[in-house]
Each structure stands twice: as C-alpha cells, then as structure tokens.
Amino acid sequence: MTESPGFYTRLADRKGFNASVRHIQRTLTLLDACGPKRNIADEINSMISKKEFEAEEAQSVANMLLVEKWNYSVLSSNVSSVTESPAELSAEVSKWKALDLVVGYHHPDLGFILINPKNPEGASAIAGFRKNELVVLYAGVPQGNDAAKKSAAEALPALMSLIEGKKVKVSASLLSGPFSFSAPKKPAAQKPVKKAGKTVSPSKGRAPVQAVTAAVMQTGPAASSAAATARPAPAAPAMPGQSKMSPLVSVVVSNELFHNGNVEAWKRIIRSYNARYPGLQVFIYYDGERIVDINTLFKWGKVKHGSCIQFCVAGENIQDLAKLSRYFRQGASPQFEAFLKGSPDTVMNLF
C-alpha cells in the first residue's frame, strides 16, 4: 500500500524521529507489563506519575493495544448523567472477573484519561465526570475469543449504565475469571548496611540510581551520553489524568451582584496564585460549564447574590487550596475592594 507523501514527514527530523522511537518503546513496555492483574490504565497512570510517559500518548496507545492488538470490544457515549456513588460502582465492577475493563474519559480540561474501574482509587476520577462528555469503554481479554466477545456485549452497556447512575444486574458468567484488581505492593524499607564496623542508614547512604537508556538517534554532544540516570519514583498508585486535579470547591456569592469589581478581584487573586505557583492552573466553573473568560460572569447580571461559582486547581503538588478559597469568597463579597489596590497590572503577594 502506498502511503501519502506526508506520512513519514514526522520522521524527517531528529526530534520527531526520537519521539516516535520513544513512543514505540513505551508501547512495547506496556505490552509486556499488562496482564490479568495489571490493568493498562493503572500501568499508564503509574508511568505518567514517574515521568516515564507523556499523557498525550494515552489515547493512541490504548487504541493500539486494546483495539488493534487485543481486539477488545468498544462502546462510546456522551453520558446523560453521572453516578453519585462511584465507590459502589468500583465495588460492583471489581466482581466482573471474566473481563479486563478500561474506561477512557475525554476530560474537558485535562484531555483523555484512562481509568481502571476495578481500582478503588479510580472512583475519585469517575466522580469528576461531567454530563454530556464523551466516555469510551473497552472490554475483552488479551487472547481474544468468542466467549469474551459475548461477555463484553453484556458488560459494556452495563458499565455505561453504572457510570450514569443506573442499577444493573449481570449474569453469573461475568463473575468468574482471572481479571481482578491487585493493589501494588509498597517497596520494602531498606535495612541499615554494616560497612567496616559502621552502620550506614538508608537515609544517609547514597540513594540507588536506575539506568535508563533510550534507543534514539543522537548526534553531536548528546551522542557522548547515551544513558541517563534517574532516581526511581515511589510505587504508590497514581491518580488518572495528565496531572492531578483538586475536587471542585464551591464559592457562594455574598455580594448583591457579582459585578465588574468582583470579577477584577478574582482576576487579581488568580494572577497572584499563578505567580506563586506557575505550574498550577485554576479552572472556574459556573452552572456546570467551564468559564474560559471570567469577564463573562458579570455580563447581563447573571451571577447574583446566592449564586454558586466553583473552581478547582490542576497540576502537581497542589498548594494553598484553602487560602485560595478564602480569597475567592472575599472577592465575591462586598469586601472585594481589598484586592483592587494598585494599578490593574499589580501582582499582589497573597500566597
């Protein structure tokens, strides 16, 4: 089959070539790592937390392995509602041991994320699902057989119903099999090492390093260091998504109207937070919708006394969430003027 002229364009420069090689290596690593007790969603989220995997690769790898390689059945839908009991969903689905199950969610802010519905830690991610967003479900067994296809035909709509908060009942054939969730074991504590009559504690000794090699094309000075060293990350389970996201925090408007002054106060609070924590993002929501331009909150006077505005913070190592909430409450109150001192471009030292 003759490919289009631009098919190999990405491989024409070093950056694109190396990125493609790394992507293939990560895909093969996951192919070897996954099994009945090792779900691909858990493996990918663990690699993301260790900075060994780019979150943007998750969707393509999931399709490559789950659909193309293992021939899993797929069901996608824009959910009409979201369960209020995600922990119960996880407890129920964990009983479906006949199949490997994976949930893909197109998060409006974080992008495509993968969740193991049998992992209790995934319940918090499912709790953050929003109505009308796209959910993609995968079900099957790596070996692939007619029995698995039949089971998947029953399990996929049942799982979608659970996500939408509906009650389901499945056949006994779904309850028997090897596919169950197994929490990763915590690394054993290092014992003190005796050396030449002295005891060296692990905290004072040199931390072990792990060699990481990448089979990528290197030229120039980079060719002299083909292997890099990195400290191994802890094996704690990672939360799904490109980055961690806090729960939604509600702020009730106590001013008579959320007007231009309140909006300006919020903008300055966010600017101060971003200056203190440049790696974190603040997302604002109103009436279930993401507010991209905060100025729209005071247009037509739609946000009044008693209205509820929500926000969350995304990124690694989220800080000062309570303080940010407190400032937002003040900024939505008659005391908003405290944040309007100085020129419009002033960055306040609030955090």
One digit per residue, pLDDT tens: the chain, 351 residues?
Answer: 556 778 888 888 999 999 899 999 889 989 888 989 899 999 999 888 888 888 889 999 999 999 999 999 999 999 999 998 999 999 999 999 999 999 999 988 788 999 999 999 888 889 888 888 999 999 999 877 888 999 999 999 999 999 999 999 999 999 999 999 987 766 555 555 555 555 544 444 444 444 333 334 444 434 333 333 333 333 333 344 445 778 889 999 998 888 888 899 999 999 999 999 998 989 998 887 888 888 887 775 678 888 899 999 988 888 899 999 999 999 999 999 889 888 877 788 888
Q: Which helix (H) or strand (E) holds 140?
A: strand 134-140
Bridge partners, residue 112, by sequence: 106
Residue positions counted in the chain: 351
What's the whole-model pTM score? 0.64
Closest alpha carbon to 97 in 7, 178, 213: 178
The answer to whether 43 touches 34, Cβ cutoff 8 Å, is: yes
Bridge partners, residue 75, by sequence: 137
Cβ burial of 287 (10 Å; 0-12, 13-18, 19+) is exposed
Q: Which helix (H) or strand (E) holds 176?
A: none
Cβ burial of 42 (10 Å; 0-12, 13-18, 19+) is buried
Q: Where along the chain do its domains lie?
A: 9-175, 249-339
Q: List, as own/partner pairs, every contact residues 263-266 make where C-beta atoms lie below 8 angstroms and the sequence separation is at least 24, other chains included.
A: 263/294, 263/295, 263/297, 263/298, 264/336, 264/339, 264/340, 264/344, 265/330, 265/331, 265/332, 265/336, 265/337, 265/338, 265/339, 265/340, 266/294, 266/328, 266/331, 266/332
The fold of 249-339 is Histidine-containing Protein; Chain: A; (3.30.1340)
Closest alpha carbon to 181 in 123, 247, 107: 123
Positive or negative torsion for Cα 236, 242, 247, 249: positive
The answer to whether 279 touches 315, Cβ cutoff 8 Å, is: yes
**Residue 94, Cβ neighbours under 10 Å: how many?**
17
